[in-house]
Amino acid sequence: MTIDGGERATRRARGVGKAAVLGAGSWGTALALHLARSGDPVVLWARSQEAARALRETGENTVYLGGHRFPRSLEVTGQLSAALRDARLVLFVVPAQHLRPVFRAAASNLPPSADLVIASKGIEEKSLLRLSEVLAREAGEEAGRRATVLSGPSFAAEVARGDPTAVVVAGEDARAAERVQERLSRDNLRVYCNRDRVGVELAGAFKNVVAIATGIAEGIGFGSNTRAALITRGMVEMARLGTRMGGHPETFAGLAGAGDLILTCTGALSRNRSVGLEVGRGRKLQAVLSGMRMVAEGVATTRAVVALAETHGVEMPIAGQVSAVLFGGTSPRDAVASLLARPLKEEA
């Protein structure tokens, strides 16, 4: 997309400023590319100076998202304070289990007027907190209140190449969510607003657990019937826990729930489905994880979700069996047999 002088003047007039994308993995890079291609000044932060130098020298992210050259408006740095300086929009795109120290380090440098967006998906395993709650603990309650979360069916590679994609941004502050919606809704990315931040966060985390389950079933050799059953009943478990924790039922039928669940359970680019696929074929979990460059968030999230289910007294048989396979030594076939042997009941 070419931005002419009139469009640049219009954007300056409406106050579009620098965006800081914290995290140079595939999703962070895709979001940085999306914003920079529209002509916005964007700084992409990598967690080490060496990684930042490599990105600058190659002009693309050859490790996580090769083939997409960086526009001139996209800068790369390994200095967090430099990335955050004068930012109007800050996107946190670091794996969920590594976000707390980034929140802590960023806290003193966050511009008070910047819109904060958490684009990572997961539940912190040790604390069982949602990521917006972790941000509030590390950067203060005010930052936690104004933060929004970005979720929905969105493979990084497809966003980077410009495939039509719909996502959702959720926040307690409706005006902040609307600002983020307007800032990100460009070209082929369409952003919807949602006020149910709790539900959107929980849906974005739990869909990865179900994706591991569908991958395990596929690895065993089961077909579409099994996958459809797991997706559908997985959405029931997602809504069961999500509503108990304060989410709205309709959220789990939307982009962050059903949309992302379908994508992650069926798409060839799904890391969590790929983990399940290898485990279902008989490989050990640690062997699978050690061979991956990217993080499969669903592994740690499985432990967290099972713990949350116990805390809130919610029945989640699929999540329980995924946990039993990944961490308890249960064979994939025995896990499926356990699910089929459960007492019969009505669907609703």
Quick: pLDDT tens for 214-267. 999 999 999 999 999 999 999 999 999 999 999 999 999 999 999 999 999 999
Domain final residue, candidates 142, 172, 195: 195
> With contact defined as beta carbons under 8 Å apart, do 226 and 143 qualify?
no
What is the pLDDT, as a whole number, of residue 163?
A: 97
Asked if residues 188 and 162 have their Cβ atoms less than 8 Å apart, the reply is yes
- Cα radius of gyration (the chain): 20
> Higher pLDDT residue, 296 or 205?
205
345 a catalytic residue: no
| CA separation, residue 259 to residues 8, 168, 183, 218, 284 (Å) | 34, 10, 22, 20, 30
Per residue in 271-294, pLDDT (tens digit) is 999 999 999 999 999 999 999 988
Examine residue 93 and state whether it is found in any structural domain, yes or no.
yes
Q: How far apart, in Å, are the Cα atoms of 177 and each of 125, 134, 181, 182, 193?
A: 27, 19, 6, 9, 6
User: Which of 167, 195, 223 is where one domain is finished?
Assistant: 195
Last residue of one domain, picked from the residues 169, 195, 221 = 195
Do residue 28 and residue 165 come from a single domain? yes
**Looking at the domain assignment, is residue 320 inside a domain?**
yes
Domain range for 332? 199-340
Alpha helix positions (H), the chain: 5-13, 26-36, 49-58, 80-84, 99-106, 131-139, 141-146, 156-160, 174-184, 197-220, 224-244, 260-266, 271-280, 285-290, 298-312, 317-327, 332-340
Domain count, the chain: 2
18, 126, 207, 345: which one is catalytic? 207
The pLDDT tens digits for 56-68 are 999 999 999 999 9
Question: What is the spatial distance between Cα 46 and Cα 282, in angstroms, rounded to a whole number?
Answer: 35
Is 348 domain-assigned? no
